[in-house]
Amino acid sequence: MPFAKRPVRTFALAALAAFSVLSSLPGCEGSITGSGDSPPTGGPADDTGVTDAGPSKGDAADTGGSDGATSSDSGTIDPGTDGGPSDDGGPVDPGTLGERRVIAYFAAWGVYGRNFHVADIDASLITHLNYAFANISEGGECVLGDSYADIDKAYPGDTWDTGVLRGSFHQLQLLKAKSPKLKTLLSIGGWTWSTNFSSAAASDASRAKFASSCADLALKYGFDGLDIDWEYPTGGGLAAGKPEDKANYTALLAALRAELDKRGAAAGGAHYLLTIAVPAGASHIANIEASKIHTYVDSLNIMTYDFHGGWEPTTGHNSPLFSPKGDPGPAGFDTDDAVKLYVAAGVPKAKIVVGGAFYGRGWSGVASTNDGLFQPATGMPTGTWESGVFDYHDLAANYIPTFARHFDDSAKAPWLYDATKQIMISYDDAESLTIRGKYVKDGGLGGVMVWELSGDDKARTLGHALWSSLH
């Protein structure tokens, strides 16, 4: 998501935090792993001024959480082998048992400058759709994030009758009528709108109030559940957190699970979903009780992107699957190491969903050594909607045809470089996402979560690649 810059944390301090965390996890004694350095803040501002608030481009690195780290284990984890955690403990979406999930975010602000609407979604390529985002009021209740886009914007066939639902929420209802297997979730918070999570989670009364209001909002508009994106418990986001956020986050998820179960029982035994967007770095994982929270949720969607970006002075991979050879930065900034952390914490394999990016990140002023990879940069090039960030459809139309494409076989990640323009862009394409999907399928993980649908091209190249690799 597009943004203002966050301050970059000091690698040395982050490494100490990472080491203390991992040393306490079973199977991780003596190793340190982590992920991305602090990326830019909030999100893409379209012509409306609405900013991206969620778990994605730019937000994730703390999704990745910069944990200056080194790793004594460069091998991949096979979550499907003996010795891993058992797949018990809490709900798993009964509609997707035996099926790998493709969870895709739809950004509410996409209906403005991006001109991407619910009607543009190919529901045959996803199992779950997360609508980003609902906000949290000062009083600790879930509220609409953009009432015009959500419930008022008129589409063909809509009427202006009083009380008639319009907007993207009505379009989602129409989409679900055509695709009854599709599950939709209302995502709460994100980078920009996480400020009031801490107070909402602070007491039994505030948690009950929050849970009831979120369930009311989601079910009123026909969603199948909730997706919680708190960035981040105890701090590291736009607002300062509190040490007690760690335990309160667990208690908040318990309250949400209890409220959704109560509503489900009243609806004849329906199972309403509860998922969470979680960080990929050890320092942030230290601030959540991963061994406990999984019992309340259907999936933990790891934000395994924004490991590197233009906020850093050296080029790198946005979303490497494995640890890249030759990366001069701290080790552990990759998807596989993030998965290892959650498996080591006891999260069932079927509940682990890895992130995938439908966008890339770029640097300018990059010399031609190593075709621009792991090289010093002087800034960020003009992107699709903001500096340094490129939607895949833009890359496919305007960069891939003329830039040289390279592939890092150690990281399973491509990049583009133009020696004349001195621009390097790290991104994902059909090849890398197919490999990512196979990694998930072969490892017995729950699926892939992508940020976000408007980034793909009109042929849905990335969506088809992911779906085919998982099914």
Q: Is residue 282's pLDDT more than 80? A: yes
Which amino acid, 248? N
Q: How is the chain split into domains, by residue range?
A: 11-72+90-353+432-470
Using only the alpha carbons of the chain, give its radius of gyration: 21
Higher per-residue confidence, 336 vs 52: 336
Into which CATH architecture does domain 11-72+90-353+432-470 fall? Answer: Alpha-Beta Barrel (3.20)
Taking the alpha carbons at both ends of the chain, their separation in whole angstroms is 28
Q: Is residue 57's pLDDT more than 70? A: no
Check whether the bond before 133 is cis (ω within 30° of 0).
yes
Cβ–Cβ < 8 Å for 395, 427: yes
Least confident of 62-71, 133-142, 453-462: 62-71
Pick from 128, 135, 123, 130: which is nearest to 51 by CA? Answer: 135
Q: Is 74 exposed, middle or buried (0-12, 13-18, 19+ CB in 10 A)?
A: middle
Q: Is residue 79's pLDDT more than 80? A: no
What's the pLDDT score for residue 89? 52
What's the pLDDT score for residue 93? 53
Least confident of 76-80, 96-100, 239-243, 433-437: 76-80
Higher per-residue confidence, 449 vs 45: 449
Three-state SS at 125:
helix
Q: Is 161 exposed, middle or buried (0-12, 13-18, 19+ CB in 10 A)?
A: exposed
Q: Is residue 226's pLDDT more than 70? A: yes
Task: Tell me the β-bridge partners of 102.
Answer: 448
Q: Alpha carbon of 225 to those of 29, 77, 146, 157, 326: distances in Å?
A: 37, 31, 19, 27, 43
Residue-averaged pLDDT of the chain: 84
Buried b (16+ CB within 10 A) or exposed e, 176-204: beebeebbbbbbbbbbbbbbbbbbbbbee
Q: Is residue 76's pLDDT more than 50? A: no
Across 20-24, 63-67, 363-367, the highest mean pLDDT is recorded for 363-367
Three-state SS at 101:
strand
Least confident of 57-61, 140-144, 338-342, 426-430: 57-61
Least confident of 1-5, 200-204, 223-227, 329-333: 1-5
What's the pLDDT score for residue 91? 60
Least confident of 52-66, 136-150, 228-242: 52-66
Cβ–Cβ < 8 Å for 79, 441: no
Q: Taking residues 427-445, report their average pLDDT.
A: 98
Check whether the bond before 392 is cis (ω within 30° of 0).
no
In the block, tokens 């690649």 appear at: 465
Q: Is residue 87's pLDDT more than 70? A: no
Which tokens belong to 254?
A: 């318990």
As a whole number of angstroms, the distance between CA 198 and CA 236 comes to 12
Q: DSSP labels for 448-461?
A: EEEE-GGGS-TT-H
As a whole number of angstroms, the distance between CA 261 and CA 143 comes to 21
What's the pLDDT score for residue 400? 98
To the nearest whole percent, how much of the chain has pLDDT over 90?
A: 76
What's the pLDDT score for residue 332? 87
Pick from 248, 241, 123: which is nearest to 184 by CA? Answer: 123
What's the pLDDT score for residue 401? 98
Q: Taking residues 310-318, report their average pLDDT.
A: 97
Q: Taking residues 212-218, report their average pLDDT.
A: 98
Helix, strand, coil distribution of the chain in percent, nearest 5: 30, 20, 50
CA dihedral 362, 368, 370, 375 (to 10 degrees): -50
User: Using 50, 70 and 90 to split pLDDT, how confident is the model at 53?
Assistant: very low
Q: Alpha carbon of 121 to those of 99, 116, 460: distances in Å?
A: 20, 9, 9
Q: Taking residues 251-255, report their average pLDDT.
A: 98
To the nearest whole percent, how much of the chain has pLDDT over 70?
A: 79
What's the pLDDT score for residue 92? 52
As a whole number of angstroms, the distance between CA 24 and CA 304 comes to 22
DSSP-assigned letter for residue 151: I
Q: Taking residues 54-78, report their average pLDDT.
A: 36
DSSP-assigned letter for residue 398: H
Query: How confident is the model over 202-211, as pLDDT tens digits?
Result: 999 999 999 9
Q: Taking residues 159-188, report their average pLDDT.
A: 97
Cβ atoms within 10 Å of 122's Cβ, excluding its own: 14
Which amino acid, 197? F
Q: Is residue 212's pLDDT more than 70? A: yes
List residues with catalytic annotation. Answer: 231
Q: DSSP labels for 425-440?
A: EE---HHHHHHHHHHH
